[in-house]
Amino acid sequence: MSTKTAQRGRSTLESEVRMTTLESGRLPLFLQPIDSSLQDESTTFRKWLVENQEPLEELLLEHGAIVFRGFAVRSTSDFSHLFEHYPSNDVGYRGGAAPRAELAPRVFESTRVPAEDVLLAHQEMSYLPDPPTKVAFYCQLPSVSGGETLVCDMRAVTRALPASFVDAVAEKGVQYKRNFRDKAIESGNAYLDGMHRSWQSAFETDDPAEAIANCTDMGLSAEWLDDGSLSASYVAPTGIRPHPANGELVWFNQIAGSTFRPESIGDRYKAYQQYYGTTKPKPHETNFGDGSPIEDSDLRALYSTLFAHTLRFPWSAGDVMLVDNWFTAHGRNSFTGLRNVQVSLLY
């Protein structure tokens, strides 16, 4: 394959890859290589990504997600090196909503949510002050059935939501309260205990001072409760944030995923209500930034809008998907069989 300058246009890309989209819309864009070296040589594919970063970024802004299918990515090591030209952070998933093992530098396992559950579409770490701008996924092994990584056009969601709700979220911001239980506190329900992380697991330490320091480093306020759990909070000044590249205002918050309702956790909601009731510290609580509650009618509109704009496609082994974390939310469908999808956070 010929090498060119780093400033290459879309017309050059179109001579090297086939571009297609789902029949249902622009999201995601699928790229498949024409040149055999892109199919066979991982170093060539990585070099091609670097050389074509500018036109690929333009396509990512337009479509919100790009799936690289049929390129030379055959291992976690290949994936780990693929996006080294993008910055990462030193925190990884420390303090994240779900436990994840680090598989290689910059590469983590996918969320440990039970296979029978659907993970609602969300923008990665939008409940923190410094979320990633992009998220990359690598499918090493697709599931027997289901297991698609869901994608949702958040520009369309922003336009479709009630304007009064969007304005309120923009003006009041969003208050996130998170509780990390002590590892000695267990409900006896595997789902609840997995969803309600211990502070020891979330911050990878048994040292209370280190856990507090981690919260401070992430911009969170934190305090210890009488039951030994750690309560952390963050008030996002607005839940409508400008895109880092073009400044377009878009719905960017974790209201849907951090509000526990039948729409977000399904049949698990009954067990959740029974265990926590009105007295136990809950794993997540979400309000407007001034502490006022979000109306039930607005929450119903949010979930119905997210569901209406969520798309899915089947993974193929070796697929890599690059997602714009502002413009595209992602989730996971329920599945059967084994599934190995890995993730990397890009800044």
> Which string of b and e fits 179-212 if b means at least 16 CB within 10 Å?
bbbbeeeebeeebbbebbbbbbebbeeeeeeebb
Instruction: Look up residue 313 and give its two tokens.
Output: 């496609």
What pLDDT does 96 receive? 59
* pLDDT value of position 93: 64
pLDDT of residue 29: 97
Half-sphere exposure of 177 (CA within 13 A, CB side): 15
The owner of tokens 């290589």 is 33
The single-letter code of the amino acid at 206 is D
CA–CA gap between residue 75 and residue 261 (Å, rounded) = 38
Q: Are strands 320-324 and 134-141 parallel, antiparallel or unpaired?
A: antiparallel
Is the pTM for the entire model greater than 0.75?
Answer: yes
Asked whether the beta carbons of 211 and 199 are under 8 A apart, the reply is: yes
Burial readout 1-35 (b: 16 or more C-beta within 10 A, e: otherwise): beeeeeebeeeebeebbeeeeeeeeebbbbbebeb
* pLDDT given for residue 112 in this prediction: 80
**Residue 254: closest CA among 124, 132, 105:** 124
| Helices marked H in 183-330 | 190-195, 199-202, 208-217, 262-265, 269-276, 296-308
How high is the pLDDT of residue 212?
97
Which residues have a Cβ under 8 Å from the Cβ of 242 and sit 6 or more positions away?
248, 249, 250
The answer to whether 295 and 169 have CB atoms below 8 angstroms apart is no
Task: Specify whether domain 156-306 bears CATH 3.40.50.1820.
Answer: no
Q: What are the φ/ψ torsions at residue 250 (nearest 5 degrees)?
A: -145, 150
Cβ density class 44-60: b for 16+ within 10 Å, e for less: bbbebbebbbebbeebb
The half-sphere exposure of 263 on its side-chain side, counting CA atoms within 13 A, is 19
pLDDT of 7: 43
Domain residue ranges in the chain? 10-119+128-151+313-346, 156-306
- Report whether CATH 3.60.130.10 matches the domain 10-119+128-151+313-346: yes
Calculate the dihedral angle through the C-alpha atoms of 210, 111, 276, 305, rounding to the nearest 10 degrees: 120
Instruction: Give the integer Cα–Cα distance in Å for 149 and 137.
Output: 9
- How confident is the model at residue 1, as a pLDDT? 33
Cite the beta strand spans of 24-111 per DSSP E: 29-33, 65-68, 102-104, 107-109
Structure tokens at 40: 């066979």
- Intrachain domains 10-119+128-151+313-346 and 156-306 with the same fold: yes
pLDDT (tens place) for every residue of the chain, 347 residues total: 333 433 456 778 988 999 999 877 779 999 999 989 999 999 999 999 999 999 999 999 999 999 999 999 999 999 999 999 999 877 666 665 666 788 999 999 988 888 999 999 999 999 988 899 999 999 999 999 999 999 999 999 999 999 999 999 999 999 999 999 999 999 999 999 989 999 999 999 999 999 999 999 989 999 999 999 999 999 999 999 999 999 999 999 999 999 999 999 999 999 999 999 999 999 999 999 999 999 999 999 999 999 999 999 999 999 999 999 999 999 999 999 999 999 999 99
SS3 at position 238: coil
